[in-house]
Amino acid sequence: MSQIQEKTQVIRLEQLTSDIVRLTLEAPNIASIANPGQFVMIRTGNSNDPLLRRPFSISQTSSDGCFQILFKVVGRGTSLLSHCREGEYLSVLGPLGRGYRIDTQRRACLVGGGMGIAPLLFLGKRVLRKCPDLRPVVVLGAKNREELAPLIDDFAALGLKVHAATDDGSLGHHGLLTDVLKALDLGSRCMTYVCGPKQMMTAVHLFCRSMHYGCQVSVETSMACGMGACLGCIVPLEKGGYGHSCSDGPVFDAEDLVWTL
């Protein structure tokens, strides 16, 4: 698996909400080989605090050698990153991990919860390119309109219809995105591509199993090295033993993982 350490320039920093940021980085080497579902490890500051790079999904690439990430400020690393300045350089390692495997025979359904929406835009674009006749269905959920609305716009720009759910009912269905998924007629041949909180991915996986849909999930465990060297990210496998979510994943076939409620 090829991975590159690249000194990337911050091209744009957009504050989408009070705590969600979109960062555009110029990284021609990484952008040219990245696949949907892969991630990067970013050094968030120039000091040793935090010492470890932080993982982020690649949310889209562009032909001018850039890629974007979408992130929520939750702690020291993401806070530092949200204050970087345009023109500044950041050290980035990537693209890392195994991304989504696009099934060209089955209709794609992209299911994202919260910041798990981040990798699905890149995936949606790739599915449209590979299977122009099979328009993907998009189901997205978040806490409220403020969090979800700016993320939906990118899918709408691709001409994709988004089925939305929010916890407080301020946008789309009032409740769980699994309610929305269950109400859709996805036909008998469907592959769901999922990313989000564990509880939501478990519910989606169980529903997909009952419907005989395929289901691929992106597992965002905490990661220290991002390269299979530290055992910090292991997940139990259905066949026994463990997998590294950083190098065997983050995307797994849901049936290959052990699910605990």
Residues lying near ligand FES in the complex (CB under 6 A) are found at 223-226, 228-233, 244, 246
Is 158 or 234 the residue whose CB approaches ligand FES more closely? 234
Q: Which amino acid is at 6?
A: E
**Of the candidates 26, 103, 220, 248, which one interacts with ligand FAD according to CB under 6 A?**
220
Binders in 12-31 for ligand FAD, by CB under 6 A: none
Question: Is 229 an interacting residue with respect to ligand FAD (CB under 6 A)?
Answer: no
* Rounded Cα–Cα distance for residues 190 and 176 (Å): 20
Task: Classify residue 72 as exposed, middle or buried by CB count within 10 Å of its CB (0-12, 13-18, 19+).
Answer: middle
Paired residues of 94 in beta bridges: 4
∠ CA 115-99-133 to the nearest 5 degrees?
90
Closer CB to ligand FES, residue 156 or residue 231?
231
Quick one: what does residue 125 bind among ligand FAD, ligand FES, none, with the CB cut-off 5 to 8 Å set by partner type? none
- For 80-233, strand residue ranges (E) read 89-96, 107-113, 137-142, 162-166, 173-174, 190-195, 214-218
Minimum CB separation from ligand FAD for residue 250, in Å?
A: 4
Asked if residue 198 binds ligand FAD (CB under 6 A), the reply is no
**Residue 232 binds: one of ligand FAD, ligand FES, none (C-beta under 5 to 8 A by kind):** ligand FES
**Closer CB to ligand FAD, 11 or 195, in the complex:** 195
Tokens of 88: 């500044």
250 binds ligand FAD (CB under 6 A): yes
Which token pair is 159? 């001409």
- Based on the shown chain and the rule CB under 6 A, indicate whether residue 151 belongs to the binding site for ligand FAD: no
The binder of 56, among ligand FAD, ligand FES, none, by C-beta within 5 to 8 A per type, is ligand FAD
Alpha carbon 95 to chain centroid, angstroms: 13
Quick one: which of 75, 169, 187, 236 contacts ligand FAD (CB under 6 A)? 75
In the bound complex, what is the minimum distance in angstroms from residue 257's beta carbon to ligand FES?
15
Are β-strands 214-218 and 137-142 bridged in parallel, bridged antiparallel, or unpaired?
unpaired
Give min distance, CB of 219 to ligand FAD, in A: 8
Distances (CA, A) of 56 to 142, 151, 157, 256: 18, 16, 23, 23
- Spatial distance between the Cα atoms of 29 and 40, rounded to a whole number of angstroms: 12
Strand partners, 96: 39
Contact 99, 125 (CB under 8 A): no
By a kind-dependent CB cut-off of 5 to 8 A, residue 200 interacts, out of ligand FAD, ligand FES, none, with none
What is the rounded end-to-end Cα distance, in angstroms, of the chain? 33
72 binds, among ligand FAD, ligand FES, none (CB under 5 to 8 A by kind): ligand FAD
Q: Which of 68, 78, 192, 216 binds ligand FAD (CB under 6 A)?
A: 78
Q: Report in angstroms how near the CB of residue 195 gets to ligand FES at its nearest.
A: 17
**Contact residues for ligand FAD, defined by CB under 6 A:** 39, 50, 54-57, 69-72, 74-78, 115, 118, 220-223, 250
